Homo-oligomer: A and B are copies of this chain.
Amino acid sequence: MNYVKEILSSEDFISKKILVAGWVKTFRANRFISLNDGSTINNLQCVIDFEKYNDEFLKKISTGSAIEIKGKVVESQGSKQSVEVLVDEIIILGESDPDDYPIQPKKHSLEFLRSVSHLRTRTTTFSSVMRIRSTLSYAIHTFFQKNGFYYVNTPIITASDAEGAGEQFKVTTLNYKKLKVDNHSDDFFGKETKLTVSGQLEAESYAMSMGKVYTFGPTFRAENSNTSRHLSEFWMVEPEVAFLDLKGNMDLAEKFLKYTIDYILEKNKEDLEFLEKRLIEEDKHKPKDKRNEFSLIEKLNFIVKNNFEKITYDQAFQILKNCKPNKKKKFKYLITEWGNDLQSEHERYLVEKHFKCPVIIYNYPAKIKSFYMKLNSDNKTVRAMDILFPGIGEIVGGSQREENYDILLKRMQEFKIEKEELWWYLDLRKFGSAVHSGFGLGFERLVMFVTGMSNIRDVIPFPRTPQNAEF
**Interface, chain A (partner B; CB < 8 A):** 1, 3, 5, 21-24, 37-39, 64-66, 68, 93-97, 100-101, 103, 116-119, 121-122, 127, 130-131, 133-135, 137-138, 141, 145, 148, 150-160, 167, 169-177, 179-182, 188-191, 193, 195, 202, 205-206, 209-212, 217-218, 220, 222, 224, 232-233, 235, 242-243, 403, 424-425, 427-435, 460-462, 464, 466-471
Contacts and interface: CB of A to CB of B under 8 A. Distances in A.
* Chain A interface helix/strand/loop/mixed: loop
A159 to B, nearest CB: 4
A157 B460 contact: no
Contact of A434 (B94, B210, B242, B466): B94
Nearest to A460: B153
Given A150-B134, A171-B171, A232-B157, A96 B431 contact: yes
Nearest to A204: B118
A175 B1 CA distance: 55
A265 to B, nearest CB: 17
Contacts of A3: 148, 211
Contact of A127 (B39, B209, B467, B468): B209
A100 to B, nearest CB: 7
Nearest to A136: B151
Nearest to A151: B134
Q: State the oligomeric state as a number of copies.
A: 2
A469 B193 contact: yes
A177 B21 CA distance: 56
Q: Which of A135, A158, A470 has the most CB of B within 10 A?
A: A470
Contacts of A97: 430-431
A232 B190 CA distance: 13
B189 A471 contact: no
Contacts of A133: 151, 153
Contacts of A470: 159, 424
A189 B424 contact: no
Contacts of A127: 209-210
A135 to B, nearest CB: 8
